[in-house]
Structure 1
Amino acid sequence: MSSLGDRLAAGQDPMAQALWEAHRRRQSDRLSDLRVRAPEPAMARLDPFGARTVVGLVLVAGLAVAATDPFGRLAEAFQPTLSPLAETPPPTLDVWINPPAYTGRPPMLLARAGQADGPVAAAAADSVPRRLAVPTGATLLARVNGGDAVPNLALATRGGETARPFERVAEKAYQIETAITEGTALAIRQAGDELAAWTINVLPDLKPTVSFAEPPQPTERAALMVHYNASDDYGLAGVEARIRRLESTGEPTAEDPVVLAMALPGNGLEAADAKDFHDLTPHPWAGQPVEMTLVARDEAGQEGHSEPVKLILPERLFNHPVARAIIQQRKRLITEPREKTDIAEVLMSLAARPQHYFDDVVTFLGLRLAAGRLVMNDLAPAMIAEVQSLLWDIALRVEDGEMSLAERELRELERRLMDLLAQDNPDQQELERLMDELKQAIDKYLQAMMEQMQQQLQNGDQQQAQEIDPSQMVERQDLMDMLERAREMMKAGAKDAARQLLSQLREMMENLRAGRPQMMSPEQLAAQEMMRQLQELAERQQQLMDQTYKQHQEGSPRDGRDMGQMGQMPGQPRDGRGMRPGQRPGEQGQMGDGQPRDADRGGRRGQPGTGNDATPEALARMQEQLRRQLGEFMRKLGEGLGQIPQPFGEAERAMKDATDALGRAQPGEAVGPQGDAVERLQDGAQALSEAMRQNQQANGGAAPDPNAQGQSEGDRRQDPLRDRPNQGYAVDESGVEVPAESDLQRARRIFDELRKRSGDRSRPELELDYIERLLKRF
């Protein structure tokens, strides 16, 4: 084949050309007989394992990956670069703002690594930085991970922009912590790039405000009542009253002011509308003109002042001539301290006439001691104060005997108990001890008040033994019931509610005064006896309903884990205040441990007991007996009044339904009718009271007051020991709700159920841990 492409060498010999042509013809004729041999690849010898197929697969995969931008990928292959083979990841941010602890505000998370709102470097360029409200003094904590350069924090203020570098805490980890007191924007930058930015508004900590809700005024026992309003943007730390004595010109003296700490109804309140009571009658300034200013303080130490108020400090009015003379000399130690010798002579002359103060040896020795100290010592302020305190105690002993000592002990216990309840974690044993001592102090004070009233009546002092409205009378049992309710609230963890109830009790004691009730007419006595019988009937029906429900629980296959055990009894009515109808204010059908009172177990007035072992048959007999007593009551009512209010008939029918259900051994079906009977008895009592009032007015007489013990004329269905708005010791008008009896019993049932379940070790560990955390607060 290659001969056909050859050329003749240079030359013009015809013979040679003829021979060359003949040669080419022979080669061309042989070309038609030429055959190609089978291919014999060499790659099989070079690549016996077939690795060349891998190259082909890689080539195909590359073409598939680069299909979206094949030309760009191809161009990058021919463009050299000096960047490292592994790209450095972008920096991440963790940014927090912690408000000051006294604000009570939670921390604010601005950015967090791995979240969309973390580093702003990955955000769109047109994103607007968020506006933040930051309390002044808040702490900014920022951490940057990644990047080679040290980041910095830029804070923009009205005076310009300041930048602070981060602190290196590890390899490529930086951190900064700084307080924010001013500024309009902050940004975090690294190597010229802005990682995050926010617009901020630094909120100033405003001073608290405080003012008098009403002018300070004395109570019935001459204590000073201060009603104030106070508020702060982040919570009040304390309120106090500063009292300065005024000169005759009306200007404050240079003496140190008297500071009275006002009790707050709770901790960290942003607003409070409260009352507080202070006995300043023993103070030497009692009866003197003073100026009082309220001061509110927040956690930051800022103070807010009220407008000053001028007043005369309440003073004790003494009726005994010797006591009045002693107090007069005590006042002279303030206004005429240089006349201490003359004051001592007056005290000696009073001591020389023991027949004028019942020949009391203690009074004699006290007067001689006070006179001797005035004569033998100089005019040191400490000595004057001690003599004034001694003269005050002597005057109280001459005037009241044991009465004033009991009053002082009562006020001191009230103050200590309220201060202890204001603590975050009060000692429960100390609370129980103070509650027991307060109960004894109230008994002692009431006994001393009664003895004083009897002595005044024997002496014919009608001015002191005042006639008071029976509707304003309060029984000792009512006060004891309030104490028991406050004790239950403390056990249930409702400290603020217990403080409010005790504050109401304290105001009642401050306004308590001895007196003799007005004479009641026979009609009033009969009406009061009728209401007493009706109330007793309703209480016994309530007790029977409680026992019926217990019987239903004991026979329930659900082991008591129904809605009744953990909450309100099925079918048990409640009024608007959560009290059971027919229940006396503060009275409990059960003690705090869930057991019935002794009176409940033993019955009343010869009635069979209603213990836990009562069978449905026994309960049916007791229910039928109550129904018959109601029928007898309705018969007498019809004879005396001429009409029977409709609720009594409905109560009688409900009792009959309950008797039928108990007769069928179905206590669960009897609870609902029994609750209806209690509610109808309550409605009947209200209707009966109104009917008596209208009947007496129609006859031209004064309306009888069958509810004279503890209820007011305006709203007889309200409990005056609970529903007393705008009254109490440090009452928060924004609202601490005093739990009703049903709430306390429900809390006690829940607490008992939690203790029961905590002892069941077969329950899951997670549930037991949760129950344990719930029980810790108790």
Structure 2
Amino acid sequence: MAATPGHDPRLATLRWPLMLTRSGMVAETLLRAFWPLASVVMLALATLMLGLHELLVVELVWAGAVVTFLSGLVALIWGLRHLHWPSREQAIMRLDETLPGRPINALLDDQAIGSEDAASAALWQAHKIRMTARAAEARAPSPNLKIAASDPFALRYVALLAMVIAVLFGSIWRIGTVRDMTPGAGIAMTGPTWEGWLQPPRYTGLPTRYLNDVEGDALRLPQGSIVTLRFYGQAGALTLAETVSGRVEDLPSAADAQQEFVIAQAGELSIKGNGGRSWQVDVIGDLPPQIAVSGQPEIEPDGTMSLPYAAEDDYGVVGGEVRIALDLLALNRRHGLVIDPDPRADIVLDLPLPLTGDRRAFNDFLIEDFSQHPWANLPVVYTFSAQDGAEQTSFAAGFGAPLLARRFFDPLAAAVVEQRRDLLWSRANAPRVAQILRALSHHPEDQFRNPSAYLRMRMILRRLESYVAAGFTQERQDEIATALWDLALLLEDGDVGDALERLRRAQERLSQAMKDGASDQEIAELMQELRDATQDYMRQLQREAEANGEMMDPGDMPDDMMQLSQDDLQAMMDRIQELMEQGRMAEAEQALQELQEMMENMRMTNAQPGEGGSEGQQAMEGLADTLREQQGLSDQAFRDLQEQFNPGARSGESEGNQGRNGGLGQGQSHEGGQGGQSQQGQQGDGPEGQDEATGEGGGSGGSQTQGDSLAERQQALRQELQRQQNGLPLGGSEDGAAARQSLEDAGRAMEGAEQALNQGDLAEAIDRQAEAMERLREGMRSLGEAMAEQQQGQSSNQTGRNSASQGNRTDPLGRDTPEGRDGIGDDGSKIGEGSAYRRAWDLLEEIRRRADDRERSDGERGYLQRLLDRF
């Protein structure tokens, strides 16, 4: 039978596991018995550490203390009744339960029978040895501290949370203030006391001051500051007297324990009684904000207007607005602005404020894009207003200036934008706008560079005329205005495929900008556009000359032919920009015209005129022919679409009707030569084989037949491009890959044009053909650059004739490179050719620079000016 455990030596190895097990059981018993008492104690301490008793009247505090004491007493009694101290035997049983086979109980047992039998005794001894080894592996089990069954509402966690908050945000020293709430205790020790705080308005950004620490008897406080006072001690021992709040009604008692009021005026503030003080209060008034326009509006290159302004306030500006109203008195009422405008609300914008930094005094900009507003570039009045934290609002004087917005320098785009403005000015202008748009589209060949732009204008015109007939509502007005704006952007910024046409367009826009008095930013943007267009034109000129085998040998050039280098062109454009910046627009326009003539008369030169038949040049020539063929198809499709809008026109009779081969009135079906024969062969010889573009003899089916003919030609051209693409020497360079991708895109665009022609959708076909031409140009450009890289990558041991060719190489404008002419320059050349022209230009620029230098003497500047006048 089992022996009494006591301090049995058989359990010596289990001393620590048994001690830990019993400790865990004690913890379980204490927690289950005294968790209500611990919760009451934690709640009481948290309340005192947070100072909640200071916010309540004494009676409530003592009532709460009594309730807390009684709750704690009840919890203590309940805990003592439920307290059951664990014994050593219970600890042994708890530990033994964690082991398999109950080895501890086995160690405490004795052999009941067979002790005299040696075999039985040996077996019992082996069993005890095995149980001893198993008991040595005992580990104290974790105590079970879960008491959710006893506390289903988790009140212990509420008390614990309150205690944690008190430790973090409270103070243990506040517990001692309870003794001051004993009746008569505080008065007996310290007598009556007071505390005070001065809190300025939040918008001032000033800190709160502790009134007890203020030295002296004078206070300077911002208007609107809040004064808070607390009186401690016997009621009536301290009283308040003040004349700063301006209160005349609903005055609280001067002896109230807590006083709070707002500083509204200067006066006196006194605390009367034992330990009281008095101050003379001076109020710091809040000044209203100030705001004004600080400069003239400026237009950015992207069409955004920037208007500077300055604002200040003693504590900082917190808001405001900008109101923009049309200035009818300053408006030149002509054309579409003669009639009275439709009612339109003023433009109201929030005042832009700096996101960071001090707002007491700052300079900022009103930046907005008004390009699509009906008042764009019309005179308006800007009225700025600012508001401070005290809700005081100040208004700046009205500032009259134009509502700057994007300007259009393409004449046709500018005309479209003007009609859009007139349409938005008043819906009564709709018939007049329709007439002007019809006049603009009367001779499209003289106005429109892009067929898509003409088609878009005709669509807008038809829709506008239908709206005028049916009733021109505001929704339709906005719809037409949006369409006109998109058309103007297409006319102004639309992609022009030909490099020379882009160059001419950039020059025309720059010239128009000089005449219109454009801003410096606009001039700089247009000047950069001219530089880019010039670069593109030179690259295209070189590629076309190499592809067509038209490169000239410098030795064969006439003596009087001027050669220009890249530096010469750059210097000329720099001079044009400098003249514009100096305000000498007439001279700048003359120099711009000279530059245009030089660019159009340029010829490309090459020291190896016989290399035009190389594989790469033949490929370039084939792509150039494909491009011309595609241009011819696009021209004929555009002519057919134009004749649909003008059914009375006759094929070949429209002035300026240019077909693929470039002759006036000589479209593919207008020519009497080879083109006409080819067309007749496609159409047949009968009465229905007349020129189907005229619509004569074919009835309603003529147009469809012509469309089928164009589709077949488009298909043949696409197949020809595919054949050329398969034989191109593209190589593996990046430019070669770009050329391959561009030509594939061109093929897909041709396929889209073919489908549109089969469906009779000429407008869609023209768009796809324009895309195909653009992709072809990109492919030719990339192919040319890939060929140039291949030529540069040739090894020096394989030069031979190529080395001599590179020695005599010329640049894209016909000038010798520094390695040209066997390394010998043309310093002995005459003025107007070679590097002598460059030196003369540099010398003239230096004379102009020195003549404009104000720091030089009048005599020297006069001499330089006479040189300029003479030469």
Q: Which structure is richer in relative contact order (CA contacts within 8 A, separation 6 or more)?
A: 1
- What TM-score results when the alignment is normalised by the length of structure 1? 0.38
TM-score normalised over the length of structure 2: 0.34
Relative to total residues, which structure has the larger helix share, 1 or 2? 2
Q: Which has the larger radius of gyration?
A: 2
